[in-house]
Amino acid sequence: MSTILDTAKKAGLDGFMLALISMIGLAYLWPYPGMKGSPVPLAQISSYAVSLIFFFYGLRLSPDKLRAGLVNWKLHTMVHLSTFVLFPLLALALRPLFKGEDHQMMWLAIFFLTALPSTVSSSVVMVSIAGGNIPAAIFNASISSLIGVFITPLWMGLVLDTGSGNYDLMSVVGKLSLQVLLPVTLGILMNKSWGSIAEKYKKYIRYFDQFSILLIVYTSFCESFGEHLFSEFEAKDIIFLGMGMLALFFAVYFLLTFFCRSLGFSKEDEVTAVFCGSKKSLIQGAVMSKVLFSGAHAGVMLLPIMLYHALQLISASIIAQRMARQQQEEIERLSE
């Protein structure tokens, strides 16, 4: 049990998740500072923090590593088809089950989760523990964030257009390009000069990332609580949502395992595909919710990804440890 907890802690399932929950509680008790009428523009400050997050991310992303990662195209294709095609298609298939305006909003939040890119740190950690292809994991997790700048708003535009005519896709892509893609690009270009400094102080950069996400979550839920958007949701709704997020994770995990084995992937590539292709990024979700769902709806849109984030780390930690034990047993058996 302690090994699983240690693994979860390395992946980020520690005080940060408790802090996220605390931010929601604070927003419930004291929403005014994060609302539009507040004299302190917390929402605007968090927008600037988003750009800094991705600048530091690009600063640590070596162009040489990106070029080297292009070789294993079958694995990359599998991961990104899962992240940006399989996930959204599963959500679309479930849409008829969500009837009524309130349930449609929750479905939209779930679909937003499915359209998000993969994580970076936790994917690489799990692949490393399970004995997968680590360079490929780093490449896919990194590229996923960049692809998501375009694919996520494109998917959201397709579903929002069916119920609303006020979604401007080009405007959203433009905002994301300025807030995310431009800082990442600048960071990559400056990697040669400042990349070593970013690596040296990556611990402090991570703290800044986490503080920024906490601020985004707080301001998003302040608007939602202030407008009483959660008044229609009961405790059982949240429990069912959590069960649904767990079912979604395992559905994608088992489908990816089946596809990888059918296509003859090596064990290392299979591990990388199932862990990178089944993850969703809380950081990207928080960032994009600010652009896609400004105002009171942002908090509701973040609820599924927060639940999925926690559950995917717990589930993936258990699976990765099991894979590591199986590999160790196989090594010991062959050495006898």
Contact yes or no for 281/216 (Cβ under 8 A)? no
pTM: predicted TM-score of the whole model, two decimal places: 0.74
Give the pLDDT confidence of 133-158 residue by residue, as tens digits: 877 887 787 788 788 888 988 898 88
Q: If pLDDT is split at 50, 70 and 90, which confidence band does 315 have?
A: confident
Q: Kindly report, residue by residue over 235-244, the tens digit of the pLDDT.
A: 788 888 889 9
At residue 163 the predicted structure's pLDDT band, cuts being 50, 70 and 90, is very low
Of 112, 77, 105, nearest to 91 by C-alpha is 112
Q: Where are the domains of the chain?
A: 2-323
Class level of CATH domain 2-323: mainly alpha
Specify the DSSP element, H or E, that contains 105: helix 101-114
Give the pLDDT score at 69.
Answer: 59
Instruction: Report DSSP letters for 58-81, one per residue.
Output: HHT--HHHHHHTTS-HHHHHHHHH
User: With 90 as the cut, is the pLDDT of residue 323 above it?
Assistant: no
Instruction: Provide the token pair at 187.
Output: 């960071």
